Amino acid sequence: MNAVYSLPVTKEDGEVRLDRWLRRRFPHLGQGQVEKLIRTGQVRVDGARAKASDRVTEGQQVRIPPFPTAEKRSEGQSDLSEKDEAFVRSLVIYRDDDLIAINKPHGLAVQGGTKTVRHLDGLLDGLRFDAEDKPKLVHRLDRDTSGVMLLARHPAAAAALSAAFKSRDTEKIYWAIVIGAPNPPLGEIRGWMKKAGGPRDGDREMMRRAVHREPEAVFAITDYTTLGDAGRKAAWMALKPLTGRTHQLRFHMAEIGNAIIGDPKYKCDRPTPGGLAHALHLHARAIRLPHPNGKSFSITAPLPPHMKATFEALGFDEREAKDPFAAFP
């Protein structure tokens, strides 16, 4: 489109966040692009500036600025540089007609934000391959968490994968290296948690302990088992989240006094072994769920370089845990 125009919010749209409404209408736009359009006032609701989180309702008019259309992208054109396309394709560890699995590196954000220019969502054009549709994110990982992520290659696959995640018909195994060694060496962590609410509670991007019936509190459950320890100074852990809360694994390990090595937010009072990388040692090792074709699908992601180096330094051997799911029979 080369001109500004308005689109009405219809009854079928329901009451929905502005950013999600835009993504539905213009699926070729990444989340980062959408947030920038809203933040800079290029997208307005009934003539007024709005926030990405504001909800739009039937009858409202949304100002749409000029931006590349889906038709331009469907011809195989891409805004990515050859370097970025090569980079994002190097992350692929599995691909078929329905989904793509990548091994996300530590430090790469999944979606854009105010201070995030480069992110996975903005690189997905490079993973079209021979498909008309741009792959779609169906779940997330923290910026500093590495490991396996699944992308849907078409709308039907996106619906199937999203349903699997929402119904908890998905099994995810994470590997972490923590400070000290948990006692007992295996068990379950459960409790209430919530986002910190501002200056009094601290960083809004952090979770804190909460109690039952506290406003906005959510219940979280994590199974854990120790796969190895280095003189009780550090331990190699397998973590299985039974709920999917923000920062759940990081929060839970710090809560039991065994914070994940390299975590800048969730800490404990134990000393970190020297000579190790400062990066977060949390890796989404494996995932198992129903494939859009109806069969069971599982995939394992190789360790990132900084965790491989730590394994060598502490004497851990990943070959001792060939099946990531075996730790949780």
Whether pLDDT at 74 is above 60:
no
Query: Is this prediction's pTM over 0.85?
Result: no
Q: What is the mean pLDDT of the segment spanning 90-112?
A: 94
Helix (H, G, I), strand (E, B) or coil at 308: helix
Whether pLDDT at 77 is above 60:
no
State the catalytic residues.
Answer: 142
Token couple for 51? 């926030």
pLDDT value for 79: 65
pLDDT value for 68: 56
b/e string for 195-232 if b means 16 or more Cβ within 10 A? beeeeeeeeeeebeebeeeeeebbebebbbbbbbbbee
Token couple for 246? 């923000």
State the DSSP string of 110-133: SS-BTTB-SBGGGGGGGG-TT-SS
Whether pLDDT at 1 is above 50:
no
The lowest-confidence range among 9-13, 37-41, 179-183, 231-235 is 9-13
Q: Which DSSP state fits 110? A: S
pLDDT value for 94: 97
